[in-house]
């Protein structure tokens, strides 16, 4: 007989962007005692050695062999066959998207569809950590950062087979800015020369968008914007076919023709929408044949559908959290993603006593136990030690400006003249959403322990937002989600003094040095210079505390074990280009 080699195999769990997909199926994980296993191995080795040697009649010498065996795990090996072509992924939408037109892009449900059907010059990577090329193969800026050139890849085509050219992008941008469109995200192009004039109707074109040739587009800005690639990566700036717009007219939203990895298929309003694979996609055909979004508004119904495998991916509602996280089958199928979202308290810097007392603001910062709130949210939030969420350029994972320390908080209060606590109580305004009041009650109790008494004042969204924008409040809860994947989406609106009156700086914070650093961060095209500016901003904001950071949101969804290649999106815009189904029956 032939000699058979003995192998030791090691299995590793893959980990990617807050997600731990452990797809290996392990069975019979038994630890066998050293003594018993040692005997078994010696006997087995004896059989193998004997089989590999010529026949021996007489045993000349017996040699004791000592072998240390720590652990043996019996594993049913999973054959790695790689991505499989075919199959349909079934996901959910809370509401019918209504339109897949990038010019109408505004809602969460549209965010499920638009990034899969529509592409622009650039796109956000699936894990949200960088800007990737899309229809533009390369891009660059001048030294000043106010002129950007995009070189389109050859071979990119619309879903109808027409070639994509630079003129198509100029048309799409002008369509987005058209007064007739009233596009929700037209403001993304506000920094382009001539955009305001075109939008007002006083110009016949956007003068700052120039078609150099079929493959080259040049965009000139009113000022240097180092983060402009993040703007361009927004799906609202995706390219559409002018011929298709003319053909479908008002029905274009449900017949969008663009360049994405999927194209619109069957659309049953308020029931389901199917995206079919784009066989001619420049990046290669997706593995899936199709993605079907079923309109299911009730979260408990979605879980029931997931349990029956009628849904392949769904969001995990709080009521079902423990069941999934403790499941032997699904615990490793949970997908975690830090979203570009931060909750915080807003301090009105124009109001007494908090606006004028750094001691009170610092005491609030250290008097809050964020981990208690995170525990109440079942771990689906991160401890915010700054305004920037994880994943954005400049986020400092080692920051610790607001660590929980009630003793230090009370010491700061005493130094600031509040040794006996703050007299009276002050309103904290917030929208009347979901479990917000319960969360605020946790903060309320914590602050009371250090001598700061707040009244929780919930209201409808409109009055709450009006109070924030007009400065009619003492303290408020608010949140911010990145409009584009860049720190400027937080720091410019929230901290620049030019945005105090209803433009985002609801704390009414004014610091000339911070203004200059914000301008440096947004204008520089050098990422090192930008990070340095943002770290300096962090240091100043940590001292002034016009906003008191609370938590970063974590999005948690769950997938079936046969769904492979799925990466949760930090902006809730999941692209299914590289997802595949391992179960051939699906």
What burial letters (b/e) apply to 204-229, b meaning 16+ CB within 10 Å?
Answer: eebebbbbeeebebebbbeebbbbbb
Instruction: State yes or no: pLDDT of 75 exceeds 70.
Output: no
- How far apart are the C-alpha atoms of 328 and 332, rounded to whole Å? 8
Task: State residue 318's pLDDT score.
Answer: 84
68-77, 141-150, 500-509: which has the highest mean pLDDT? 141-150
Task: State residue 43's pLDDT score.
Answer: 32
Confidence of residue 555 (pLDDT cuts 50, 70, 90): confident
What mean pLDDT, rounded, does the chain reach? 87
CB 365 within 8 A of CB 550: no
Phi, psi of 340 (to 5 degrees): -80, 70
Angle between the N-to-C axes of helices 527-544 and 512-523, in degrees from 0 to 180, rounded to the nearest 10:
160
Tokens 């007064």, located at residue: 179
Task: State residue 128's pLDDT score.
Answer: 86
Mean pLDDT of 318-346: 91
Phi, psi of 373 (to 5 degrees): -70, -40
194 preceded by a cis bond (ω within 30 of 0): no
Prediction pTM value: 0.81
Confidence of residue 185 (pLDDT cuts 50, 70, 90): very high
- How would you list the strands of the sheet with 147-152, edge to edge? 136-141, 147-152, 216-220, 209-213
Name the strand (E) or helix (H) holding 585: none
Task: State residue 81's pLDDT score.
Answer: 66
- How far apart are the C-alpha atoms of 313 and 320, rounded to whole Å? 14
Task: State residue 571's pLDDT score.
Answer: 85
Mean pLDDT of 60-77: 40
CB 18 within 8 A of CB 554: yes
Task: State residue 64's pLDDT score.
Answer: 44
- Give CA torsion, residues 527, 532, 535, 537, to 10 deg: -100
CB 25 within 8 A of CB 78: yes
Task: State residue 33's pLDDT score.
Answer: 34
Domains annotated on the chain, with CATH: 88-263 (3.90.76.10), 339-554 (3.10.105.10)
Confidence of residue 35 (pLDDT cuts 50, 70, 90): very low
State pLDDT tens for residues 436-469: 999 999 999 999 999 999 999 999 999 999 999 9
Confidence of residue 321 (pLDDT cuts 50, 70, 90): confident
Average the pLDDT over each of 73-77, 98-102, 124-128, 522-526 and give the range with the smallest value: 73-77
- Tokens encoding 300: 């408990």
């Amino acid at each position: 007989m032939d000699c058979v080699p003995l192998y030791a195999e090691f299995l590793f769990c893959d980990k990617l962007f807050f997600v731990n997909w452990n797809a290996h199926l392990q069975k019979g994980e038994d630890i066998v005692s050293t003594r018993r296993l040692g005997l078994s191995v010696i006997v087995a080795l004896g059989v193998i050695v004997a089989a590999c040697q010529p026949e021996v009649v007489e045993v000349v010498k017996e040699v004791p062999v000592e072998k240390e065996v720590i652990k043996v795990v019996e594993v049913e090996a999973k054959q790695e066959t790689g991505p499989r072509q075919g199959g349909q992924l079934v996901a959910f939408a809370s509401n019918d998207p209504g339109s897949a037109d990038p010019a109408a892009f505004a809602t969460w449900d549209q965010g499920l569809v638009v990034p899969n059907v529509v592409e622009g010059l650039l796109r956000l990577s699936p894990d949200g950590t960088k800007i990737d090329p899309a229809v533009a193969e390369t891009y660059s800026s001048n030294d000043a950062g106010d002129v950007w050139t995009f070189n389109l890849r050859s071979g990119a085509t619309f879903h109808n087979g027409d070639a994509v050219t630079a003129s198509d992008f100029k048309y799409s941008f002008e369509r987005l800015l058209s007064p007739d469109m009233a596009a929700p995200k037209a403001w993304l192009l506000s920094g382009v020369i001539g955009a305001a004039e075109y939008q007002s109707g006083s110009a016949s074109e956007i003068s700052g968008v120039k078609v150099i040739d079929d493959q080259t587009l040049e965009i000139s800005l009113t000022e240097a914007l180092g983060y402009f690639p993040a703007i361009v990566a927004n799906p609202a700036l995706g390219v559409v076919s002018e011929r298709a717009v003319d053909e479908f007219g008002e029905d274009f939203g449900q017949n969008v023709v663009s360049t994405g990895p999927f194209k619109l298929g069957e659309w049953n309003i308020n029931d389901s929408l199917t995206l079919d694979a784009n066989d001619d996609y420049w990046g290669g055909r997706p593995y899936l044949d199709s993605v079907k979004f079923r309109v299911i508004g009730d979260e408990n119904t979605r879980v029931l559908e997931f349990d029956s495998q009628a849904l392949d991916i769904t969001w995990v509602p709080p009521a079902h959290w423990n069941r999934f996280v403790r499941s032997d089958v699904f615990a490793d199928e949970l997908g975690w993603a830090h979203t570009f979202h931060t909750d915080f308290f807003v301090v009105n810097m124009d109001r007494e006593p908090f606006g004028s007392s750094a001691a009170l603001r610092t005491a609030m910062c250290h008097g809050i136990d964020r981990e208690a709130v995170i525990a109440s949210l079942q771990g689906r939030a991160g401890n915010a030690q700054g305004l920037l969420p994880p994943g954005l350029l400049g986020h400092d994972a080692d920051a610790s400006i607001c660590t929980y320390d009630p003793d230090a908080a009370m010491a700061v209060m005493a130094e600031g003249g509040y040794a006996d606590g703050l007299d009276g109580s002050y309103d904290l305004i917030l929208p009347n959403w979901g479990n917000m009041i319960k969360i605020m009650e946790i903060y309320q109790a914590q602050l009371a322990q250090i001598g700061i008494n707040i009244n929780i004042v919930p209201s409808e969204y409109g009055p709450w937002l009006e109070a924030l924008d007009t400065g009619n409040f003492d303290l408020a809860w608010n949140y911010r989600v990145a409009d584009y994947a860049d720190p400027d989406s937080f720091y410019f609106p929230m901290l620049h003094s030019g945005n105090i009156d209803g433009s985002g700086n609801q704390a009414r914070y004014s610091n000339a040095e911070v203004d200059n650093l914000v301008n440096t961060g947004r204008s520089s095209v050098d990422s090192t210079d930008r990070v340095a500016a943002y770290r300096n901003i962090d240091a100043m904001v940590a001292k002034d505390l016009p906003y008191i950071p609370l938590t970063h949101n974590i999005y948690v969804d769950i997938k079936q074990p046969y769904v492979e290649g799925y990466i949760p999106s930090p902006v809730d815009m999941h692209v299914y280009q590289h997802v595949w189904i391992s179960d051939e029956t699906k």
